[in-house]
Every structure is written in structure tokens, then in C-alpha cells.
């Protein structure tokens, strides 16, 4: 599905964005491993999360969907052997996190994905999980992936050369099945949703700076969980409010986990008018209401120290840089090349179509901002990447007479009603 969008005069109102995708994945997986019934309120029914739900059903969990809620009767830590291939669709989170669980089982299983996911490197999880004793078969480290589990696994101390919440989560989940303390250390702390969730389910997990360690246990305890709104989804509406004149928007119930709030911190330093109200905690995660208004921005530089805390927001952050005064530079973001698309290449190629001055580097790009610049009317590619499609959509609203976004339906990967919400707030 292609969609045609054009410049709007302002956006205003109050909205809620879909539930956090990262937290939904982890809540479903750990509930499926728990000994009893867990209730998950306000889960995200996106394509990616539905893949996790279906795989957990194949592995023995009894999952009932009731409106916006899930009720999951866990099968326990020792799962049921699936009768068919486990299909992760486009979800790298599903494939990598489930691999950590399958590594500790007594059976052989296979994970497959769609064409896009099958081009994404899985060697990053194969290496540590193989060290723990699981046996993998794959075509050069890509899906489909055959996993022969082992229990107990060997406890390891793993030093990662890059910050990755998915790899960290896979190793920590596998640590539930190890013969001792499993330790994972990373150079910069990545998002910590798995650590928070494991602790709430009763896992013996300890955090010391950039190091997480976990002890094996006999069972996980069921939980009642309320999932907050996804900051990565909220970022597109925050950006729209900041970029479009006369705009003011309130986004309620947004998660502001400090391990992934880099987008908000950097945007504030650029001069964005953003307020945080009703700050509170929900199911172990910090939450607030965010109010964003039109603002004049100046340039910013981000590097490897902050990239892990805003990796999913970089496509929309790049658009903000294109409208900021001065030259902005993004570096230390090579991880973007291994997402649903090569996001560095995708951003640079499509932004050039819009008339944005942007130059590509191996691990990022440099953008010459033009606060009063107007974007070209053109047809752009989403590359079936939800975050690219949403970033280009905001670009259209912020300064293009007409823009056609190809394959815009891919937004359903994380935000099924994205265009419906936009329609509600655009004037």
C-alpha cells in the first residue's frame, strides 16, 4: 500500500501511542516460562509481537487474548517440543530472544523468518550460545536457524564488543538454564527491559554498571503487568510537534526508561520545548505524560556513547537535524545497517530525494540543517522498514507539498494505527 501525504498547518490534541514493543516481547516470553497464569494489560498487537505470541503457543503456553489484554498460562522453564518450524516473520527480537530460551531445552527446533529477516546476521547470538553448549546449524549465520538445545548449559562470562539489548537478552535468558552464574558485559549499557522483567518474574539477576549476571532457578513466578506506551512510537509525534508551527501535543503514558531515553535528552539540548508531567512507575518501568510544542532547534552531534539509548529513534532524529540550525553529525551507529533495512543507506538515499543535504559515512551521516527549508515533492521508498516509513511521513507533514511513500503498510510492524492517529491530530 502506498500513501500520499502533504504539509499540514499544525497538529494538536492529546493521544496515546501503542504499547511498548520491546516490553511486550519480553512479557509474553517470560509469562510463557512462568509457573502459573500471568495477566498482561495493554499489550501491543503488532505483527512482530504476534509472531512472539504464536511461537510461545507452539512451545506450550496457553495464551488467551481478551481485547487489549493477554492471559498466559506458562508451560514452565522446560518447554514443549514444537511440531513445526517457528516462524518469526520480520521480528529480529523474536528470533534472537527465543533462541536464548531454545538453547536450554532438551529438543531440536528451527526458527525461520521472512525475506528481510533472513538477511539479518544471527552470528551475534550463535557465538555466545554456542559457547554455552547449544548446537546451531545455519547458512553462514542467517535464518533459517536450527538449534539443538542442551540442559544444563555451561555458564559463561561473555564480553560483548558492542551494546545490543537483543544479544544480551538471549544470553541472560539462556542463563536461566546454565550450571552456574552467567555474566554478560557490554561496553555501553543497552536498554534494560529484560533485566527489569527477569527481576519482576523472580529471577536471580544482579546488575553492576554495564554488567548483568544471572543464576539458574527452578521456576519463574507469574505476574500482572501493565505495559506503557512505546517511546519509539511517541518519538514520531514528538518530532512532528516540534517541527510544525503552532503545534502542541500531549502524549500520555509513555515509557521513559533511562537506558533508552537518549532521544529526549538530546532533543532537549537542541532547544526543543518538551515537558514531562505525571512521572510515575508502572510494572517496574518509569512512565510519564509528554507535552511537546513547536520549537526552533540547533544542531547536535551524537556518537557511540549515546547511540544505544536512541538507536530506534535515529531515523526521526535525522529528520529533526535536517530542520535544525547548523551541521549535525551522527556517528557510532553502524548497528543501523543491521535493522529491517540498512537504515543509514535508507535515510541518506531518501533524504537526498527530499533535497536534504546529507552525506553518508560507515557508521552514520552528516546533515546540514535548513530550518526554513522546504522538502521536494517526490516518491520515496520505505524499504518495508516501519521506522523509515514513519520518519518520511513526518517529513511530508512538516514541509512537502506532496509525497508518496511506497509500501507504507509496513508501519503495522510496530504501529498498526499510525496513519489513523495522524489523521486525528493534523489540521
Q: For the domain with range 3-19+228-425, which CATH number is right: 3.40.50.360, 3.40.50.2300, 3.40.190.10, 3.65.10.10?
A: 3.65.10.10
For the chain, the C-alpha Rg in angstroms (whole number) is 21
Pairing of the two strands 142-148 and 157-159: unpaired
The alpha carbon of 116 is separated from its chain's Cα centroid by a whole number of angstroms, namely 16
On whether the CB atoms of residues 3 and 421 are closer than 8 A, the answer is: no
pLDDT > 90: percent of the chain: 96
Q: For the domain with range 21-226, which CATH number is right: 3.40.640.10, 3.60.15.10, 3.65.10.10, 3.30.950.10?
A: 3.65.10.10
- Residue intervals of the chain classified under CATH 3.65.10.10 are 3-19+228-425, 21-226
pLDDT tens, residue by residue, 349-364: 999 999 999 999 999 9
pLDDT tens, residue by residue, 297-346: 999 999 999 999 999 999 999 999 999 999 999 999 999 998 999 999 99
pLDDT tens, residue by residue, 253-306: 999 999 999 999 999 999 999 999 999 999 999 999 999 999 999 999 999 999
> Looking at the predicted structure, is the pLDDT value of residue 401 above 90?
no
pLDDT given at position 427: 82
- Is 161 in the active site? no
Task: Tell me the C-alpha to C-alpha distance, in Å, between residue 414 and each of 23, 44, 69, 229.
Answer: 12, 8, 17, 12
> Looking at the predicted structure, is the pLDDT value of residue 223 above 90?
yes
d(CA 295, CA 407): 31
Of 114, 312, 363, 407, the catalytic one is 312
pLDDT given at position 361: 97
> Which ranges of 244-372 would DSSP assign to H, the alpha helix?
262-269, 314-322, 343-353
Amino acid at each position: 500500500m502506498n500513501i500520499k501525504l502533504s504539509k499540514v498547518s499544525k497538529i494538536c490534541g492529546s493521544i496515546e501511542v501503542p504499547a511498548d514493543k520491546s516490553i511486550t516481547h519480553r512479557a509474553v516470553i517470560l509469562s510463557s516460562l512462568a509457573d502459573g497464569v500471568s495477566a498482561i494489560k495493554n499489550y501491543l498487537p503488532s505483527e512482530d509481537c504476534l509472531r512472539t505470541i504464536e511461537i510461545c503457543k507452539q512451545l506450550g503456553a496457553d495464551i488467551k487474548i481478551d481485547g487489549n489484554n493477554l492471559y498466559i498460562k506458562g508451560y514452565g522453564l522446560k518447554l514443549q517440543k514444537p511440531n513445526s518450524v517457528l516462524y518469526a516473520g520480520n521480528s529480529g527480537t523474536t528470533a534472537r530472544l527465543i533462541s536464548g530460551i531454545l538453547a536450554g531445552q532438551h529438543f531440536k527446533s528451527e526458527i525461520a523468518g521472512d525475506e528481510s529477516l533472513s538477511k539479518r546476521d544471527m552470528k551475534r547470538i550463535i557465538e555466545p550460545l554456542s559457547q554455552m553448549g547449544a548446537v546451531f546449524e545455519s547458512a553462514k549465520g542467517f535464518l533459517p536457524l536450527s538449534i539443538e538445545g542442551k540442559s544444563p548449559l555451561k555458564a559463561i562470562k561473555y564480553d560483548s564488543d558492542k551494546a545490543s539489548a537483543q544479544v544480551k537478552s538471549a544470553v541472560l535468558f539462556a542463563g536461566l538454564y546454565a550450571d552456574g552464574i552467567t555474566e554478560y558485559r557490554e561496553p555501553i549499557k543497552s536498554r534494560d527491559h529484560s533485566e527489569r522483567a527477569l527481576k519482576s518474574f523472580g529471577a536471580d539477576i544482579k546488575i553492576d554498571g554495564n554488567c548483568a549476571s544471572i543464576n539458574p532457578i527452578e521456576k519463574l513466578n507469574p505476574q500482572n503487568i501493565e505495559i506503557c506506551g512505546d517511546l519509539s512510537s511517541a518519538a514520531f509525534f514528538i518530532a512532528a510537534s516540534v517541527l510544525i508551527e503552532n503545534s502542541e501535543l500531549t502524549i500520555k503514558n509513555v515509557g521513559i526508561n533511562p537506558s533508552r531515553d537518549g532521544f529526549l535528552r538530546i532533543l532537549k539540548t537542541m532547544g526543543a520545548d518538551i515537558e514531562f508531567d505525571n512521572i510515575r512507575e508502572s510494572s517496574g518501568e518509569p512512565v510519564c505524560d509528554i507535552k511537546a510544542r513547536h520549537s526552533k532547534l540547533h544542531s547536535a552531534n551524537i556518537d557511540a556513547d549515546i547511540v544505544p539509548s536512541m538507536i530506534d529513534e535515529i531515523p526521526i532524529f535525522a529528520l529533526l537535524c535536517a530542520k535544525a540550525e547548523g551541521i549535525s553529525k551522527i556517528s557510532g551507529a553502524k548497528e543501523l545497517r543491521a535493522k529491517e533495512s540498512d537504515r543509514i543507506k535508507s535515510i541518506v538515499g531518501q533524504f537526498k530525494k527530499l533535497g536534504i543535504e546529507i552525506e553518508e559515512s560507515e557508521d552514520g551521516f552528516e546533515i546540514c540543517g535548513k530550518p526554513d527549508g522546504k522538502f521536494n515533492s517526490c516518491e520515496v521508498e520505505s524499504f518495508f522498514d516501519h521506522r523509515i516509513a514513519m520518519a518520511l511521513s513526518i517529513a511530508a507533514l512538516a514541509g512537502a507539498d506532496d509525497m508518496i511513500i511506497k509500501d507504507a503498510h509496513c508501519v503495522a510492524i510496530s504501529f498498526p494505527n499510525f496513519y489513523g492517529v495522524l489523521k486525528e491530530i493534523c489540521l
